[in-house]
Amino acid sequence: MILLLVVWMNMFNFMDGSNGMLGLYALVVLASVLFSSGLPVQLILSGGSLYHMSFILILALLVFLAGNLRKHAVWIAGDAGSVVLGLLVIWILLTDRSGTALQAVDEANFSWLFIPVSCALFVTDTGWTLIRRIYLRQPVWQRHRLHAYQMLIYHKDKNPVLIAFAYAVLQLLVNMLFLISGGGVWMAIGIFVVLSAAWWMINRNWPEKSDL
């Protein structure tokens, strides 16, 4: 469990390489959690701690995005900020309305599958990028530009803000599809297969090591 937690937090750190990416993506995940937990209105009436935690974090993210969601960011999350954000997101994902961590896993409307699916783009991009770096025999702790979003920005000259919005919107669609359809193993597998195919299409022309 501790190892998975460390991997999860570092995933947010790895994906914090484009202005607006981390903030917009976290907003989508939090909105999806509120939707899956009974909609924000019901959470307000019940006074659940999940709502309060999410609401405070959403406000903080909006302030952060005011200076980060632009071509030339005024401020960035940095290693510490991205890791802490990853920790807060996974805590909220594992917390029910009463605020008791892991209690929600026993509820009928909760699925463990929603945890990886809620961040499916980050999981797919990080996972395949790590596999690729191992294949290229590169130290995984060194800086690089091999993530799909980095390929789009630095090698295909796409606007970083547009890429951040694209990731957020696509993840929102994935989450809504999974929640509205009732989820399930095959739905989760299908989502990751499609996203993996998209990752490989973006990275089909791998740059040489000297171009990284």
For the chain, which residues make up each domain, given as ranges?
Answer: 2-211
pLDDT at 48: 58
- For residue 199, the one-letter residue type is W
Q: What is the pLDDT of residue 158?
A: 81
pLDDT for 114 equals 87
Which residues, at least 6 apart from 88, have a Cβ–Cβ distance to it below 8 Å? 53, 57
* Cα separation, 135 vs 139, whole angstroms: 11
Specify the pLDDT at position 109. Answer: 45
The radius of gyration computed from the CA coordinates of the chain, to the nearest angstrom, equals: 17
Report yes or no: 178 and 185 within 8 Å, Cβ to Cβ.
no
Task: Tell me what pLDDT residue 94 has.
Answer: 80
Instruction: Determine the angle formed by the axes of helices 78-93 and 21-36, rounding to 10 degrees.
Output: 10
The pair of three-digit structure tokens given for residue 107, joined into one six-digit string: 């509820």
> What's the whole-model pTM score?
0.83
Q: Say what the pLDDT of residue 47 is.
A: 53
Task: Tokens 């297969």: give the residue.
Answer: 193
Q: What is the pLDDT along the chain (212 residues), one digit of tens a residue?
A: 778 888 888 899 888 778 888 999 999 998 888 777 655 555 555 555 666 777 888 899 999 888 888 877 777 787 788 898 888 888 888 874 444 444 444 443 456 888 899 999 999 999 999 998 888 888 877 778 889 988 888 877 788 889 999 999 999 999 999 988 887 889 999 999 999 999 999 888 665 553 55
Q: How far apart are CA 104 and CA 84, in angstroms?
A: 22
